[in-house]
């Protein structure tokens, strides 16, 4: 039975650190019996998990302001009783962090300045995307150079706040929290950073990602980039951050791809343009349409879907070139996709072909590993071979003669990998290169790795950066 006070009272998330006399880990939801992220009603003590099945994961404050009182009490505890202990732990952490981040490179000792991201409850999908984006230098540097936005002042300035929905939506900024997260990475001052403030903003502005269920990393990436783009267009607190992009001639001068209005750093870096050609098979009428994109979703050809490893002997290995060719090859549309021919004035059989009219500075390739069947979403676990350097995109261009050869070559910057069998389960990690070295990002754990390990990964999302100068002749 659901809690009768869910619509009129308030629920808080129990934390064992704040409830020393209780045992929140033993509590379970009274509806679905889940013990993951339980919430307790302050009026009747009913426990719920906050899943979509149980509906409300938090509701507004009571008339007596009970949640505000709890929040203030928790803040007082944190800001007084634990201040000295926090300073002591920070010093110990800094010393242990420095020692643990030393490695041997060419016989000498070097420090790993990479910082992991703590898992806040099935948030590996977010962590893998954030780590990948943090290693795309031009994109990351733009946000890190933005001026900070002071969202709080007075008594709450610089102090942790305990958020509920009653605080409203006008006090959050995705761009600001994204900037803070990027600034926290690669400083080397801590082994792991908790992106809880960013995740809170994600909950506020992206309802699809509320709760603690596993999510699709590609879907999250698209929502993140789209919302960053929209906020950069509109600015925050009346200050337009798009103005900073206009001052950066290196980005704005060459960018002609605008999605949903004016250009921002998102479209300047990830934006490309596709030309979609459709030909009527009855009268030969040709229709052309230009579509902007931030990433390309590529099917894994069906003939390779049983090939699960690089060393498996039953047939050739699927390559990224095979996936790109499948995406751009001429395709006859089936009966469910008949084309409305304006000349024939009725739906006719037709062919479709994609050309890339404009390549982006960062080419994001999403391999479609999840497919719906009659009852569930299956994973295509096929190994796809991909190059670390020299991905040549010239043959997929509409007008390759207008692009110099060096502007068609891409080098790999990051890879997102899904481990497991289904989109709603499993685990996400990322590989990324930083200052010539490859790292593996597994939530709060960051390890140095090598190219041989990276190329064996079953990639889900690949981030390729346009090569700026000639640096070798190896191509895909």
Could you tell me how many residues make up the chain? 476
Cα(267)–Cα(295) distance, integer angstroms: 11
**Is residue 468 within 8 Å of residue 420, measured between CB atoms?**
no
**Both tokens of residue 39?**
């919430």
Cα(278)–Cα(339) distance, integer angstroms: 8
How far is CA 23 from each of CA 20, 26, 127, rounded to the nearest angstrom?
8, 6, 29
Cα(244)–Cα(236) distance, integer angstroms: 13
CA 173 to chain centre: 17
Cα(475)–Cα(440) distance, integer angstroms: 25
Active site residue 124: yes
DSSP annotation string for 252-286: HTT----SSSS--HHHHHH-EEEEEEEEETTT--E
Which residue carries 């346009």 as its tokens? Answer: 466
Active site residue 5: no
Categorise residue 203: left if φ over 0, alpha if ψ from -120 to 50, beta otherwise: alpha
User: Beta strands 445-449 and 437-442: pairing type?
Assistant: antiparallel
**Is residue 127 within 8 Å of residue 192, measured between CB atoms?**
no
Cα(137)–Cα(298) distance, integer angstroms: 25
Among candidate residues 54, 124, 257, 364, the one labeled active-site is 124
> Which residues have a catalytic role annotated?
124, 427
């Amino acid at each position: 039975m659901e809690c009768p006070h869910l619509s009129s009272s308030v629920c808080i998330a129990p934390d064992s650190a704040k409830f020393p006399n209780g045992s929140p880990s033993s509590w379970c939801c009274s509806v679905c019996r889940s013990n993951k992220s339980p919430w307790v009603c302050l009026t009747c003590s009913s426990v719920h998990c906050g899943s979509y099945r149980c509906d409300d994961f938090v509701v507004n404050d009571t008339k007596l302001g009970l949640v505000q009182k709890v929040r203030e009490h928790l803040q007082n505890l944190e800001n007084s009783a634990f201040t000295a202990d926090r300073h002591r732990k920070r010093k110990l952490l800094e010393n242990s962090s420095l020692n643990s981040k030393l490695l041997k490179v060419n016989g000498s000792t070097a420090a790993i300045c990479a910082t992991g991201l703590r898992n806040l409850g099935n948030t590996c999908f977010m962590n893998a995307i954030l780590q990948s984006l943090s290693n795309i230098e031009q994109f990351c540097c733009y946000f890190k150079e933005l001026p900070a936005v002071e969202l709080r002042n007075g008594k709450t300035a610089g102090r942790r706040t305990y958020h509920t929905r009653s605080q409203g939506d006008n006090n959050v900024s995705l761009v600001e929290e994204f900037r803070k997260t990027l600034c926290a990475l690669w400083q080397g001052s801590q082994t792991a950073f908790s992106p809880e403030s960013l995740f809170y903003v994600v909950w506020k502005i992206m309802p699809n990602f509320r709760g603690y269920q596993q999510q699709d990393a590609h879907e999250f990436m698209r929502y993140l980039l789209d919302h960053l783009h929209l906020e950069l267009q509109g600015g925050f607190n009346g200050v337009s951050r798009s103005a900073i992009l206009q001052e950066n001639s290196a980005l704005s001068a060459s960018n002609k791809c605008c999605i949903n209005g004016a250009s921002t750093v998102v479209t300047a870096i990830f934006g490309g343009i596709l030309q979609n050609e459709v030909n009527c098979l009855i009268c030969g009428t040709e229709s052309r349409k230009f579509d902007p994109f931030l990433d390309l979703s590529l099917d894994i050809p069906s003939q390779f879907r049983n090939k699960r490893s690089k060393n498996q002997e039953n047939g050739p290995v699927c390559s990224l070139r095979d996936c790109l060719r499948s995406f751009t090859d001429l395709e006859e549309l089936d009966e469910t996709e008949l084309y409305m021919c304006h000349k024939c004035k009725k739906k006719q059989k037709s062919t479709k072909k994609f050309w890339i009219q404009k390549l982006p500075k960062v080419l994001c390739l999403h391999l479609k590993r999840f497919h719906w069947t009659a009852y569930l979403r299956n994973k295509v676990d096929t190994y796809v071979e991909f190059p670390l350097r020299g991905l040549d995109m010239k043959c997929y261009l509409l007008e390759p003669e207008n692009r110099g050869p060096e502007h068609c070559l891409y080098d790999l910057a990051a890879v997102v990998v899904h481990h497991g069998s289904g989109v709603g389960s499993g685990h996400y990690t990322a590989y990324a290169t930083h200052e010539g070295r490859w790292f593996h990002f597994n939530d709060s754990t960051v390890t140095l790795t090598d190219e041989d390990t990276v190329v064996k990964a079953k990639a889900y999302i690949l981030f390729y950066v346009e090569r700026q100068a000639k640096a070798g002749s190896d191509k895909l």
